[in-house]
Homo-oligomer: A and B are copies of this chain.
Amino acid sequence: MNFTYEELKKSSLAVVRDAIRAGQYQSNTAGLGRGYLQANLAIMPAENALDFMRYCQRNPKPCPLTGVSDTGNRMMFTMGRDIDIRTDVPAYNIFRDGRLDRSVTDIKDIWRDDLVVFALGCSFTFENALQSAGVAVWHIDNNTTVPMFQSNIDTVPSGPFSGKMVVSMRAIPEERLDEVIAISRRFPLAHGAPVYWGDPNGIGITDISSPDWGDAAPVEKGQVPVFWACGVTPQVAIANAKLPICITHKPGQMLITDVAEDAENPVLTFDRS
- A residues sitting closer than 8 Å to B (CB atoms) are 46, 49-50, 53-54, 57-61, 65, 67-68, 70-71, 78, 116, 153-154, 156, 158-159, 185, 188, 192-197, 203, 264-265, 267, 269-273
Contacts and interface: CB of A to CB of B under 8 A. Distances in A.
Nearest to A116: B50
Nearest to A157: B70
A57 B153 CA distance: 26
A52 B45 CA distance: 17
Nearest to A156: B269
A61 to B, nearest CB: 7
Contacts of A270: 58-61, 156
Given A185-B264, A195-B273, A270-B156, A50 B60 contact: no
Given A46-B50, A49-B50, A264 B156 contact: no
A154 to B, nearest CB: 8
20 contacts: A46-B50, A50-B50, A53-B53, A53-B54, A53-B57, A54-B70, A58-B78, A58-B267, A58-B270, A61-B270, A70-B158, A70-B159, A153-B272, A154-B269, A156-B270, A188-B264, A192-B265, A193-B264, A194-B273, A195-B273
B68 A57 contact: yes
A193 B272 CA distance: 11
Nearest to A78: B58
Nearest to A268: B156
A129 to B, nearest CB: 16
Contacts of A59: 267, 270
Given A70-B54, A272-B153, A265 B194 contact: no
Given A58-B267, A78-B156, A196-B273, 11 more contacts: A46-B50, A49-B50, A50-B50, A50-B53, A53-B53, A53-B54, A59-B267, A61-B270, A156-B269, A188-B264, A192-B264
A92 to B, nearest CB: 22
A182 to B, nearest CB: 12
